[in-house]
Structure 1
Amino acid sequence: MKFVIVSGTQTGGGPIVLCKLAQVLQKQGYDTAVFNMGISSDDRKKFYYYYVKYLLREFIKILFIKIFPHSNFAKYHYQGYVYIPVKGIKRRYLPWVDDDTIVVYPEVSSGNPLHAKYVVRWLLYYNRRPNDDTWYSPNDLFVSYREQFFDSKLNPNNNLLKIFHFDQNLYKRTNYGDRKGVCYFIRKGKTRPDLPKKYDGPILDDFPETEKVKILNQCERCYLYDTQTFYASIAALCGCIPIVVPEPGKTKKDYVKDDDYIPGVAYGDTPEEIDYAVQTCDAVAQGIADQLHENDANVSNFIETCKQYFHLT
């Protein structure tokens, strides 16, 4: 069994956990490589035409950043090229996919551009195409990143693959003194109708990771309009109170199941939620350590699921 993990550059949570999956698979002895794909299309000529264009654009960007590493372009738009959270993974520019290869696509990839015999769809978010039967194949294996992303149609067996990556040397609290001001994360909430007309603090979405950590260590509160981002826990770890803003008409119960425990995070800015976030803040670090420890077991279970589903040995 070999694996090809389809991923974008490591500038967001999705690509980072995809690359972490590749790293753990490699650690467990499987031939695994990451393939950075610019466009998803089942038409091979179209796919490779746009893929070559994608590689040329990426080469120019990387060259510019190598020459001008301190430019605003490098600092705010393509920090992923100079700050790579998951290191040591193999990258292939033209992956060879044979009948022993399992290709893992995130839910944002349509079709099967690598024409793999065995396809895994990792739902790192909610199904983005709930009424489009052409987006996936009925023979694909579906696994979800979190219980919240279970899909009764695509993933009726509730297959789960939780992978966690965290840089404990970067994401930590350094300010134990006074704090003031607020900051924001918008991310996947950019289409929400209830976004503020004005922001009284910085939006951290495109800041380099080191700058995000610096600001989170200065601010008292962080408002998040992306209801499913791990930056809420990162904010808590940095000593900033993270406040996830529920979408209009929704409450905490729409995002957190009864048996789900998310310490250090407030859903809405009621006094009760703020008090809960403050009182449980110290539990965030222990939760992160527990999740890191579970990676190997979770990937082993994923491998067994693949073997059973695809009838492999």
Structure 2
Amino acid sequence: EATEEEEAAAEKAAVAMENAAPLPGSLRPDVIVELMSPEAEPMAARNLLFAVAPYLHGMFSRRLAGREMGDMDEIRPDHPWYQIASDAALRVGLDRFEILVDRSLGHRSVVIPGNTPALVLGEKLMEMAQPRTFGFLVGRAWAQAVTGSAFLEWADLHELELVLAGIVSQFDREFGQDLASRSDLAERGKAFMKQVPRRVRKSIEEPALVYAQAGAVGMATWQEAARTTAVRVGLCACGDLRGAAEVLRAEKADDDVLTGLLLYNIGSRLVRAREACGAVVAR
């Protein structure tokens, strides 16, 4: 059980977060990894995906292009919400993006990865949005875009696992033969390398070899852990627990997700994350 001092610290942190403003600084990758990622998120897999994500779009372009979406309208730069999205994008190092409204999505939202990632909002979700609610949505979305975890939502998980194995096989020919034949993996790996500038290829080698040594990755577990990371980034970006919870309830998130967010909100890691990003947090 928590001591009186721990309970007092948690209450103070909760009050501080309740009154927090959106972040003035940037959400650096090291802050996301150290203070927002749950233990269940496999570090080696996350680091490899982060390294290859900028060039992964071409491996799934047909699936991305063929994804069934409804009638969509673009939110233009003169829209009031666009500046919130732009500020959030800058904090995670994203220099271009699109925001779309899809009448068929209802209260849901999705992130389309790619060279110009897009946040697609359901029309009903857009109607209920308030500034900090919207701040949570874009903070979560851009976290998925820059870390590459959006591919864990869009791609078939087994196919993504094969693509990652194919990439690794370019540096370790023995890797992944329990998943597919050597020739199949080599084909995927070579197709990916064609997307990557030569000057970048060497930087992929280290995370690929670490991934090879780390052992099997539970893709579904990784997907859930990456979702948790993105939710935490969204909360950190908007500084509004009620707004974040309102979005998650509208999306019919499991009670475990809401409970996890509440526990993270009263913990020290969120306070430290906001301080690392330049927010002034009362203690």
Q: Could you state the TM-score of these two structures normalised by the residue count of structure 2? A: 0.29
Greater relative contact order (Cα < 8 A, sep 6+): 2
Q: Could you state the TM-score of these two structures normalised by the residue count of structure 1? A: 0.27
Greater share of residues in helix: 2
